[in-house]
Structure 1
Amino acid sequence: MSTKTLCLLFIFSCIVVQECKGREARGYGGNGPPVQCNRVDCPSSTVIHSEKEFEIRQYKPAIWVTAPSVVQSSIQAGVDKGGEVLYNYFFEENNGFVDITGSDRGPGGIPDPLDADVVQVTLPKSRYAAVRRVDGEVIDNLVLSHVDILRNDLKRTSYKFATDPRQFTYVMYDQRNWAQGYEVLIWLN
């Protein structure tokens, strides 16, 4: 083997090792959180349990803005309605400026909503969620199948009694980049 070939093999093996280490450190079986998580787009959390297909997160105290519970015939219709309410809050119906891509850490916190449907929610001291990532569109069958998978995954852990099996939250906030769109998370609280 020539020196050039050995050099190329060495560089290739270094790249493979680095890629594997990066995947291990990111959790979710190598598909861990996008690099911007816990910086701008994602609420601050600590992973307290991680498996290949899901993780248990502890969220720190925070004020979040939430749309009302939306009753619709499909998940897509609910996301559209709730998203419209929150979009209006961020861009029109509030008493101040809201930076939609970053945390509002100024004095007094986030602006007060002018729409009664939008509510500021203070999370309790610690809030836990079982989280499963779904790459794909908001399609009822896809979402519901992943909710079932997460519920079944939790049944074989010590967290099986800590979740409410009747409710789930569908979250779209982990934007990897503009081309790929949003990652979708399913929470069982």
Structure 2
Amino acid sequence: MATSNLNPTLSSSSFFLLLLLLSFAAGGIVFPPTCERIECPSYNVIGVGKGFEIRQYPWTEWVSTAPIDDISFVGATRTGFLRLFDYIQGKNDYNETIEMTAPVLTEVSPSDGPFCTSSFTVSFYVPKKNQANPPPAEGLHVQRWGFKYAAVRQFGGFVSDESIGEEASALYTSLQGSIWAFVNEGRKDDPKSVYTVAQYNSPFEFSGRVNEIWFMFDMQGVKHVYAN
């Protein structure tokens, strides 16, 4: 667990205890049952609020599609998922089969209107055993994350084109007035800023579905929070 870059006045043991308390207090955010069956990326919970939590993701690798232009989130995600599913089934330069992971991420760059084309990038988390050398494949690329921070809101059911905008708006509203309001900086002038949708379940699972909206942000704001 990397903590030394957050607040030099907190000892490692004190900060670890703080993270445990914050994780316990997160009540409304559940651990996706899917992650008990297949591999998911690990993360630290470094803050909580009403209807959201703040996570720190460590160095990880994801395999991603090129941007997909579509008017439908659902349609673009399906297109990207099928490309990535072929990839893990062995349609890659090494003809290597790779384990399925969760979540499936769709980064959304919204259009200016309801009937305009948006841009979507769909990604799979690369399992730990493949992180050192993920197979390349035509039309896909590997994203190598450094430390990433995300404000996260969970919601259930099947994700629809209508629900994602509503959930992103709800996350924006819940962050306002909290110590994490800086995450929204830049979104005031551009309410349709990029956000990410995480889906943890197979399309054949009809109950216990877990989805998330992520607002990614940099660590400068985190230093500001822990300095106050």
With normalisation by structure 1, the TM-score equals: 0.73
Quote the Cα distance in structure 1 between the aligned partners of 2:130 and 2:98: 13
2:141 corresponds in structure 1 to: 119
Question: Match for 1:145 among 152, 155, 166?
Answer: 166
Equivalent AA in structure 2 for residue 25 of structure 1? F
CA drift of 1:113 comes to: 2.7
Aligned residue runs from structure 1 range 82-101, under 5 A: 82-94=80-92, 95=94, 96-101=96-101
* Identity within the alignment, %: 26
Question: Match for 2:199 among 172, 177, 183?
Answer: 172
CA deviation profile, 1:108-143 (whole Å, cap 9, x unmatched): 73531322x21111101x100111111022211111
Quote the Cα distance in structure 1 between the aligned partners of 2:211 and 2:34: 15
Question: For structure 1, which runs of at least 5 residues remain unmatched after alignment?
Answer: 1-23
2:48 corresponds in structure 1 to: 50
1:25 corresponds in structure 2 to: 24
Are the structure 2 counterparts of residues 129 and 34 from structure 1 closer, same or farther at C-alpha, using a change threshold of 3 Å?
A: same
Are the structure 2 counterparts of residues 108 and 188 from structure 1 closer, same or farther at C-alpha, using a change threshold of 3 Å?
A: closer
Return the structure number with greater relative CO, CA threshold 8 A, min gap 6.
2
Question: For structure 2, which runs of at least 5 residues remain unmatched after alignment?
Answer: 1-22, 103-125, 188-192, 217-228
Quote the Cα distance in structure 2 between the aligned partners of 1:47 and 1:32: 12
Quote the Cα distance in structure 2 between the aligned partners of 1:82 and 1:65: 11
Give RMSD over aligned pairs. Answer: 2.8
Quote the Cα distance in structure 2 between the aligned partners of 1:181 and 1:92: 30
Are the structure 2 counterparts of residues 105 and 188 from structure 1 closer, same or farther at C-alpha, using a change threshold of 3 Å?
A: closer
CA contact (8 A) 2:49 2:178 kept: no
Give secondary structure in 1 for the equivalent of 2:214: strand
Quote the Cα distance in structure 2 between the aligned partners of 1:79 and 1:49: 29
Equivalent AA in structure 1 for residue 79 of structure 2? K
Question: Match for 1:64 among 62, 65, 72?
Answer: 62
With normalisation by structure 2, the TM-score equals: 0.61
Quote the Cα distance in structure 2 between the aligned partners of 1:108 and 1:34: 22
CA contact (8 A) 1:42 1:173 kept: no
Equivalent AA in structure 1 for residue 156 of structure 2? D
Question: Match for 1:184 among 205, 211, 223?
Answer: 211
CA drift of 1:88 comes to: 1.4
Quote the Cα distance in structure 2 between the aligned partners of 1:39 and 1:109: 23
Tell which structure's C-alpha radius of gyration is larger.
1
Quote the Cα distance in structure 1 between the aligned partners of 2:148 and 2:43: 9
Quote the Cα distance in structure 2 between the aligned partners of 1:38 and 1:121: 25
Quote the Cα distance in structure 2 between the aligned partners of 1:119 and 1:38: 27
